[in-house]
Structure formats: structure tokens, C-alpha cells
Structure 1
């Protein structure tokens, strides 16, 4: 074992503190950027769609150079820290947008969101490889379920407090959002601080293969990873397709205020908190793949259930329901990705996965907004549900094939 149990536990503790600061910083973007874009600077549906898809486009651009850089690093901590700081610096830039004398500030917001996501994509890839080295496989299920549970509580408190605060101001007032984004930047600095507290040592194992075309061509021969990649890509297309649609529906159709947006988020996070350990426990018992099927089926109900009513209490209940499956999907996708990615080629495998998910994130939100403009939000949300369920059943198919293979291996041979 590369790390002693004492060092592993210290790294886990610092990872939770690092994740808590990251959650607070990023929750301001995820929960309130759409509201800021629509109500403060007057973004159109197309621009809101770009805010959802441009980060993924920048991830596409970042993955290849990011994978090359990360795969050449023996120690990843400092590189990850610099990448995170560059990404969180974007929050400071966003806070300055209302001061810019430009007729359409929404385009500046789209540009800043895109730019900050280049270092953010690299930071995500580097952190995944970094934490995959630090936390041994036999501790990942329990640790990540507990970590996600704590971070969700932190995010819930931050989001709810922010929503209540914003509700005290005019919907079109820019100053409260500016303060929020500035505070998010400060928590980004704290995130970097706790990352640097981790203990990292050079691996004594076989050096990881450098990212290259040859290494990339080999990854599809690793069947568990290849099957997971197909399923996850299909599911992510349906999942990300509806992301801008939820914001547009809640704000434009249901006329939700900042207070209600925070209530939706808190309801979703409460059920996540209650279910994280459940998903980890059942994944250990039955396997990641079958539990991914169940989680993604539940995620698939979210778009369809949302469009049934604009009642705020109903939408809160829908978020409470779907949060259970968000917890499972987030935890199981990451755990399964690490599980099917051998250490000797992990950065290449992670980069390839992030690249394809980002490609879906680039295309899918624009498809969703296009269907919204051509038809209506109900049609677009229904298509999202269908694609999510198609992804879910692909996980079930892989589970069935895995079981068949195991039975074939375990079947005793008969000799005459």
C-alpha cells in the first residue's frame, strides 16, 4: 500500500474540507447563475442554453492537453490547485459584469462562463486522477458516499441561505449577486488551501502511461470500460439535455423566485443526504451496474414529472423525489468509472470519459432548447425522459451480460 492508514484518513479529512469549500463556491454558479442571467441581465433562452453547453464545449478543448499534462505528472496536487484557483477566479470576473457598459451583458456572461470552464475541466480531470491515487479502492464506496452526504448538507445550507438573502432584494438588482459571486471566489481560495494540505507521494508502482493516440486506441479493448462508456454517454445525453429546460420552466413558466429556486434545491439535496449511504451500501451488495440502472430510471422521471404542474409545492415534491436518484447517479457513475479504469492507464481513461460526457453536454442542452423553440417545453422534457430511460436500460443490459459471463466462468467443466 502506497499510503499508511493514518495518512489515508488524514487525506480523507482534508478532502472533505476541500470539497465543502468547493461545494459552496460552485453552488452559487449552479443554482443562481440562470436566475442572474434571466432576471438581472436579460439573457434569452438561447443564451441560457449556451450557459449550460459552453462549459462542456470548453471541456472538449481542455481534455486532450489536460490529459497530456496530468499523465506526465508524478505528483498532481500542485497542478490541481493552480487549475482550481484559475477556475474560481472566474467568479470574481462574473461579479464585475454589471459594471461593464455593454448593451448585452449576457454575451459577456456566456464568454466568462466558457473561459473559466477551461481550467475547471482540467482541474476536474486532475482531481479525479489525484483522488483515485490517494483513496484505495476498498475504501472508495464508503468514503465517497459519506463525503457526498456531508458536501450535500453544506451545499443545501449555502443554497438555502443564499436564496433567502436574495429574496430580500429586487429581482433585477445586481448587487446581491455580485456579493455572492465574490464570496464564492473567497471560498475557492479556501478550497485550494485544503487541497494543498493533502499528503501525496510518488508512486512506487509502474508509471502511468503517457496520454497518446496509441494509448487512446487501446482503451476500447478494455471491455468493462468500453461498455460503461457507451451506457454513460447515452444516459448523459438525456440527462444534460434537460438542464437548461428546468431553469427556463421554473423561472419563465412557473415564475419561481430566488426563494423558491433555493427551496427546490434544498428539497433535492435533503433527499440526497438521506440516501447517499443507502446507495453505497446496496452498490457494495449488488454491484454498481444494477444500481446505476435503478438510479437512472429514477432520474428519467424528473423531466416528465416536472411539466405536470407549475405549482411550487408540487415542484418541491418532485425535487424531493428525484434527489434520491441524483445521489445514486452521481456516486455510482464516479465509483464505476474508477472501478473500470486501471491505474496504469487511468488518466487516459478518465480524460476520454470526460471528453465524451462534455461532448454530450455541449450538444444536448442545445438540442433541448431547439426542441423547446420548435415545439414546447413539454415535448422537449418528454424526449429527455425517453433518452434517460434508454440509457438506464443499457446499464441493465450490461448487468445481464456481466452475469452471463460470471456464470460461464463459474460453471464447472465436465471431463470424461
Structure 2
């Protein structure tokens, strides 16, 4: 579907506004879920790992019906808006959790986070398919680079303000967390509003025959299969340490809400500086080549974190790792879009997200298992090794793609 230049620019503007509202909502909620669970609800390490992984199981269950529905939509805009509404409503429920007197309150929170991913899966899939239709391929690297830079700046400012405000409260006080979740819900409504402001043309469903998200045809498309193998392994190595970072900062380094906010701000500040650079590199080199260096850079984060519990040191390490996080966010999503066929993009995205949900469930569990069975140092070192191996896989992928292009070029010359 082809949109006019004016419509593309309008949609890019609305997408940035929508993303800004979403970023603030997530910065006020997701960044503090684990701290809220530990400090207020008394969650264990196992429950913390479930906060990261259990939503993936719900996402897996929701992916097939979500893909089926999105494929049948003539307009994705309204469906995405409704999905946002139902997802953000869960933030209102979290406001009332501290009022519940129960020994199982931490489990209520874990289950609430998990169920929230049901509409969240519908929201993410429909948004990815929606924005993939609206932004032309030749605009993606530049636009998403600019968009991510702006959103990260907004997220950094929001996180810094929250961190300064949280400094005035004792870590065991539930009120600031309740206010955070309430304000996050309000910004979720702005997120919904700006989605509805996008311009979208109806899709003629009679002209397109969609594959099932589990169709064998998806795995017959070699660019997607090659990307899928490398991306899943990279995500496993990446997500294995997600819970470990939070546990290390809170339980071992004894970071307060203020310092947790500063670590996030440091990471986001680095992303703001580096997004334009990654966008330029994406236009100069292939996404696959960049993913090699991104994987190697991401491999340094786990091992660098465990070298010290000094807050200033951790602030610097988070700034350094943010450079590679921005590359991961930008290049990985663009690589997914590049590796899929346009007519069946929703099915490819659904298939990728479904398999990614499996990884997202297993990886944090493996990380915490290594922590409980051995030590934090051992778990972090394993994550570093796996991230490095992901870089090797992307290197093999880049080599094969180069060989394939050279073969296609020779065949074209022969046919001429």
C-alpha cells in the first residue's frame, strides 16, 4: 500500500507523539515493577524471574488468535487503540494492590503482570504490522533512528524526575508506586489518542492471501529462517541476564529507587547520543554486519556489572552498555522487517514474536537457575559467553548472505 509523502510525514509525527506517551507510561511503571515487587510486596528471586518470563507464556497463547485477527483487519488503527486501552487498565488495578492484606500479594502481582500481556500481545503485534504498513522501507532506518532518539530522551527525563521524587520517600512506602501507576495509566490514554490520529487506508483483503503464523511457507523463505535462528539465540543470551541485573543492583549493590532510576537514565542518555550514529551506519552497512558488533558489545555488559557494587561505577557501565542497546533496538527490528515478505509481514511478525515468547520465558529462568545453583558471577559470565557466540552466528549469517548475493549476481550475468 502506497501513501503520499504528506500522509507519511503526518503518520511519522503522530507515531512520535504516540511513542512519547507510551514511553512515559512505561517509564513510570515497568522500570519500577521489580523494585515494587521486592521492596513493597516482598517478592522472592523466583517471583522476580517470573515477572520477566511468565508474561511470555501468556503472549504465546495470545499470539495465534492475535495474528488471525490482525490478518483479517481492514484497518489496524482502531484495534491497536482498543488493545492499548485494555493493557493500560491493568495499571489501575496495581494501584490498589498495597491495600490487599494477604501473604500471597506478591503472587497476585506476578499473575497481574502476566495477564496484562494478553492485551499487550494484541497491542504489540497490531502496532508492528500497523507501523510496518505506514512507513516505507526506504524511510525506516532514518525515521526509527530519529523516533527512538526522541523517545529515549523523553524516557530519560521522565525517569530522572521520578528518581528525584522517589528520593524523598522511604523505600518501603507504597504511596509513590501507586501514584506512578496512576499517572502511567493517564499517559496510556494519551497513547491511545495519538494512535487514532494516524491516517490509514483500508486494506483490500480479497487481494491478499495470508499465511498462518505457523505455515511451513514462512520457513521456506531463507532470509527469514537465517535471521530467525540468529535472532532467537541472541535474544536468549540477552534476556538471560535481565532479571540478574535487577537482582544484582537491588539485593547485592543495595541500590535505592533513586539510584535504580539513575542507572536507567545513564543507559538512556547513551542511547540518545548513539541512535543517530546507528541510523547512519545502518544506511552505510548491512544490518547483519552491524549485529555482529552489537552482539560483541552487549557481551561486555554482564561481566562489567559484577566487577564492582560502587554506584558511580555502575552508572558508567550502564552508560557504556546503552550504546549497544540502542543499536539492538533499532537494527534488530529493522532486520526483522527486511527479512520478511511484505504481503505476509503480519504472519512473519506473529511467528517471530511467538517463538520469541518461548525464549523470553526460558531465558530469565535459566539466568536465575544459574544464580541459585552456582553464583551471580557464574550466571553473568555465562550470559557474556552466549552473547559473544551470538556475534559469531551473525558473522556466519553475514558471510552466507554475501555469498548468496554474489551467486545471484553471477547467475544474472550468465542469463544476460
Unaligned runs of 5+ in 1: none
Asked whether the 8 Å contact 1:292–1:333 carries over to 2, the reply is yes
The answer to whether structure 1 residue 242 and structure 2 residue 203 are counterparts is: no
Query: What's the counterpart of residue 395 of structure 1?
Result: 394
| 3-state SS, counterpart of residue 265 of structure 2 | helix
| 3-state SS, counterpart of residue 217 of structure 1 | coil
Task: Please state how far the C-alpha of 1:341 moved relative to its aligned partner.
Answer: 1.3
Query: What's the counterpart of residue 112 of structure 1?
Result: 112
Query: What's the counterpart of residue 162 of structure 1?
Result: 162
Query: What's the counterpart of residue 43 of structure 1?
Result: 43
How many residue pairs get aligned? The number is 414
Task: Please state how far the C-alpha of 1:298 moved relative to its aligned partner.
Answer: 0.8
Q: How does 1:173-322 map onto structure 2 within 5 Å? A: 173-203=173-203, 207-212=207-212, 216-322=215-321
Task: Please state how far the C-alpha of 1:358 moved relative to its aligned partner.
Answer: 1.0
Distance 1:152 1:414, change over 3 A: closer
Q: How does 1:19-58 map onto structure 2 within 5 Å? A: 19-58=19-58
Task: Please state how far the C-alpha of 1:210 moved relative to its aligned partner.
Answer: 3.3
Task: Please state how far the C-alpha of 1:54 moved relative to its aligned partner.
Answer: 1.1
Q: Distance in 2 between matches of 1:382 and 1:394?
A: 19
Q: Deviations over 1:216-257 (max 9, x none)?
A: 210011100110000000000011111000000000000001
Q: Deviations over 1:200-229 (max 9, x none)?
A: 00236974433437x621001110011000
| 3-state SS, counterpart of residue 216 of structure 1 | coil
Asked whether the 8 Å contact 2:63–2:353 carries over to 1, the reply is yes
| 3-state SS, counterpart of residue 130 of structure 1 | helix
Task: Please state how far the C-alpha of 1:104 moved relative to its aligned partner.
Answer: 2.6
Task: Please state how far the C-alpha of 1:278 moved relative to its aligned partner.
Answer: 0.7
Distance 1:103 1:229, change over 3 A: same
| 3-state SS, counterpart of residue 203 of structure 2 | coil
Unaligned runs of 5+ in 2: none
Q: Distance in 2 between matches of 1:324 and 1:384?
A: 18
Query: What's the counterpart of residue 78 of structure 1?
Result: 78
Q: Distance in 2 between matches of 1:142 and 1:47?
A: 40
| 3-state SS, counterpart of residue 165 of structure 2 | helix
Q: CA RMSD in A?
A: 1.5
Asked whether the 8 Å contact 1:245–1:377 carries over to 2, the reply is yes
Q: Distance in 1 between matches of 2:208 and 2:176?
A: 46
Query: What's the counterpart of residue 93 of structure 2?
Result: 93
Distance 1:207 1:396, change over 3 A: farther
Q: Distance in 1 between matches of 2:28 and 2:207?
A: 38
TM-score, structure 2 length as denominator?
A: 0.97
